[in-house]
């Protein structure tokens, strides 16, 4: 039925079919997994509709009291409904919107849900079942706020705080933080894999030393009054690390070990090149320059150790 209405899905696996950006919906998903749900009467939940929507944090409890199959992702700016029919998901979202906007309360919404389903079963096609009664939000994402002192701020936040200025030492520190974060994530993943003791020891060493450098970078920013900034270029570096790590995660044992060592050689080589050709040239504060020199020495040492591991990695 969904294919007849929306055409072939953009994603298809053995467990789910997914359509993106169909009408007012950000995502429509049909899953093989069926979850028993007795509201408003017993059925199986397997169809999910997601819309762009910023749900206020103080409304989350009310939505949970209304329908346990309503889910929200505050960071992504999404609200989803999961049921057995598209019309029932539309109804779920419409009444959720009414709760959020103060038009109704959870108890009244539950009663209204049952009434609408009964009318729909009789072929009366109530509006709340046929069409969304609201327009999905534009730019509903909520990145929240950092709580770790010295944490980077995104470009818009930093530009506002600095009267429009961003880059320089702020961006340099942002790059250093991103480099460390990428290496920490990769090392943490390696520690969960069945790899050789030598590579595991190397990964643990990287985790500890990049973690310390990250902490030192944040403290330095606080000390000199420079908040690391997440520019588009810094964000691109983070995404690059995430994509490369995602490519390794399905591997295990010797395959993961070989891929991890190769990634560390590549990543640390690129980090050295960035420090030499970009970061040291853009750094202005003497303490940032000294921090980069110390960072370079550590990265160089990590690279040499990775190269020593490579001959022991099976091809």
| pLDDT tens string 135-179 | 999 999 999 999 999 999 988 644 444 433 456 999 999 999 999
Q: Which domain holds residue 192?
A: 153-312
Tell me the C-alpha to C-alpha distance, in Å, between residue 169 and each of 52, 225, 279, 292: 36, 10, 9, 11
Q: 287 and 237 in one domain?
A: yes
Q: What is the pLDDT of residue 102?
A: 97
Q: What is the pLDDT of residue 263?
A: 97
Q: Which residue has the tokens 């500890």?
A: 208
Q: Phi, psi at residue 199, to the nearest 5°? A: -70, -35
The answer to whether position 102 is within a domain reads yes
The answer to whether position 221 is within a domain reads yes
Total domain count for the chain?
2
Tokens of 19: 């359509």
Q: 123 and 159 in one domain?
A: no
Q: What is the pLDDT of residue 312?
A: 56
Q: What is the pLDDT of residue 233?
A: 95
Confidence of residue 85 (pLDDT cuts 50, 70, 90): very high
Tokens of 204: 């643990």
Strand bridging mode 16-22 / 229-230: unpaired
Q: What is the pLDDT of residue 91?
A: 98
Tokens of 178: 């991103």
Give residue-wise pLDDT tens across range 24-48: 999 999 999 999 999 999 999 999 9
Tokens of 46: 């397997």
Q: What is the pLDDT of residue 4?
A: 85
Coil/strand/helix, residue 298: helix
Q: 234 and 192 in one domain?
A: yes
pLDDT of residue 314 exceeding 80, the answer is: no
Confidence of residue 313 (pLDDT cuts 50, 70, 90): low
Tokens of 122: 């009789």
pLDDT of residue 1 exceeding 90, the answer is: no
Coil/strand/helix, residue 257: helix
The answer to whether position 137 is within a domain reads no
């Amino acid at each position: 039925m969904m294919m007849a209405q929306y055409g072939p899905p953009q994603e298809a696996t053995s467990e789910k079919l997914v359509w993106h950006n169909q009408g007012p919906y950000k995502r429509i998903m049909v899953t093989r997994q069926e979850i028993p749900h007795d509201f408003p009467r017993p059925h199986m939940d397997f169809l999910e509709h997601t819309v762009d929507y910023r749900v206020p944090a103080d409304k989350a409890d009310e939505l949970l009291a209304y329908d346990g199959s309503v889910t929200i992702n505050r960071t992504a700016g999404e609200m989803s409904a999961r049921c057995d029919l598209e019309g029932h998901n539309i109804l779920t979202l419409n009444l959720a919107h009414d709760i959020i906007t103060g038009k109704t309360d959870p108890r009244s919404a539950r009663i209204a849900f049952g009434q609408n389903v009964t009318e729909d079963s009789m072929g009366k096609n109530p509006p709340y079942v046929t069409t969304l009664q609201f327009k999905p939000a534009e730019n509903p994402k909520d990145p929240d706020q950092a709580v770790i002192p010295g944490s980077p701020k995104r470009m818009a936040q930093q530009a506002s705080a600095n009267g429009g200025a961003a880059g320089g030492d702020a961006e340099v520190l942002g790059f250093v933080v991103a480099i460390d974060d990428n290496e920490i994530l990769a090392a943490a993943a390696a520690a969960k894999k069945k790899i050789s003791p030598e590579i595991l020891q190397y990964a643990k060493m990287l985790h500890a030393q990049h973690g310390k450098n990250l902490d030192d970078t944040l403290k330095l920013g606080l000390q000199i009054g420079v908040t690391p900034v997440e520019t588009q270029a810094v964000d691109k570096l983070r995404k690059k690390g995430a994509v490369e790590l995602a490519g390794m995660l399905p591997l295990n044992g010797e395959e993961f070990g070989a891929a991890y060592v190769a990634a560390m050689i590549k990543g640390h080589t690129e980090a050295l090149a960035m420090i030499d050709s970009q970061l040291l040239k853009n750094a202005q504060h003497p303490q940032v320059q000294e921090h980069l020199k110390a960072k370079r020495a550590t990265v160089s040492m990590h690279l040499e150790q990775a190269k020593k591991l490579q001959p022991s990695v099976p091809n």
